[in-house]
Homo-oligomer: A and B are copies of this chain.
């Protein structure tokens, strides 16, 4: 039976695993992201020691070039993360391990994991959104990973902000008060002076967070018409938040989208990831499986 390798490549940590699915992860390591050379060498060594994997999937932080027809395919492209711009991620892994390599954004991969084993099974157009250090979205559109010119950058949509309610101007270096600028973990910490994990349940931060996420989700629904939205990431670990986001999303749509999924089944429509923290690395394993077939 084939064995798959998965790399979840984040800006702060890497997770590598070998296995065949959620109930069969044979080995796993987690380590901080360092320079590209040493970080990729650790991954390669892990797969040599713990494999051999028949194929490896990479779920990468971005921006990346996921277009196989492009000369920069397989690269991380313009990231501000030191040393990582223009790194040929796929090339490095492929030449070291000599197996097929699958490659996509961390969020498209997480979506794929949820599609294969989690909260998005059977759907062909859905959204996976992660709300954490950054805000990113991916998913499937018409049964395939969302791509196009490059890949979605959903954290950077513009949102209404009423300065009399929220004078905070946002932390995005490009757009100030875009979604990520207003509602990512660092934005919450900068606005309130408290790290997200220390905010109490009754802190007004949560109501404002739900307000912005609800406005964003309503816009994503208008643009993509997803069959479901899976909401992951560190900020969503605050359990009451998803309920408040459902309410705000529905309030914002105001009955315009006449679908039972939105009008009656919001609990299922906006869902937590069934794979929890493991959507990403399991998605990478799903990418490996796809690359081998």
Residues on B with C-beta less than 8 A from A221 are: 149
Do residues A150 and B77 form an inter-chain contact, with CB atoms below 8 A? Answer: no
Q: How far is the CB of A23 from chain B (nearest CB, A)?
A: 30
Inter-subunit contact A224/B259 (CB<8 Å):
no
CB–CB A161/B158 < 8 A: no
**Binary interface encoding of chain A residues 135-175 relative to chain B, with 1 for a CB under 8 A from any of its CBs, else 0:** 00100011110111111111111111100000000000011
Name A144's contact: one of B142, B222, B252, B256 (CB within 8 Å).
B142
Complex CA distance for A144 and B125, rounded to whole angstroms: 11
Interface of A is mostly: loop
Beta-carbon contact of A223 and B160 below 8 Å: no
Q: Whole-angstrom distance from the CB of A120 to the nearest CB of chain B?
A: 12
- Check A222 against B254 for contact (C-beta < 8 Å): no
Q: For residue A63, which residues in chain B have a CB less than 8 angstroms away from its CB?
A: 258
Rounded to whole Å, the gap between the CB of A223 and the closest CB of chain B is: 5
Contact A174 B254, CB 8 Å, known A125-B147, A141-B141, A160-B158: yes
| One of B126, B137, B151, B159 near A158 (C-beta < 8 A) | B159
Quick check: is A96 within 8 A (CB to CB) of the other chain? no
Surface stretch bound by B, among A7-15, A87-95, A197-205, A212-220: A212-220
Distance, CA A149 to CA B177, complexed state (A): 29
Please, how many angstroms separate the alpha-carbon atoms of A267 and B128 in the complex? 32
Instruction: Tell me the A63-78 residues at the B interface (CB within 8 Å).
Output: 63, 77-78
User: A227 within 8 Å of B by Cβ?
Assistant: yes
The copy count of this chain in the complex is: 2
Contacting pair B222 A148 (CB below 8 A): no
Instruction: Report the Cα distance A155→B257, complex, angstroms.
Output: 12
Q: Is the CB of B158 within 8 A of A215?
A: yes
**A81 CB to nearest B CB, Å:** 14
> CA A215 – CA B177 in complex, angstroms?
13
- Shortest distance from the beta carbon of A213 to any chain B beta carbon, whole Å: 12
Contact of A224 among B148, B158, B159 (CB under 8 A): B148
Residues of B within 8 A of A226 (CB): 148-149
The answer for the CA separation of A159 and B219 in the assembled complex, in Å, is 9
Cα A139 to Cα B155 in complex, Å, equals: 22
- Given B151, B160, B219, which contacts A161 in the complex, CB threshold below 8 Å? B160
Q: Which residues of B are found within 8 Å of A39, using beta-carbon distances? A: none
- Alpha-carbon distance A143/B124, docked complex (angstroms): 13
- Is A122 part of the binding interface, using a Cβ–Cβ cutoff of 8 Å? no
A193 an interface residue at 8 Å Cβ cutoff? no
Contact indicator per residue, chain A 90-132, by CB within 8 Å of chain B (1) or not (0): 0000000000000000000000000000000000011000000
Distance of A79 from chain B, by nearest CB (Å): 10
A221 vs B157: C-alpha distance when bound (angstroms): 9
A225 interface residue per 8 A CB criterion: yes
Which residues of chain B have C-beta atoms less than 8 A from A125's C-beta? 141, 147-149
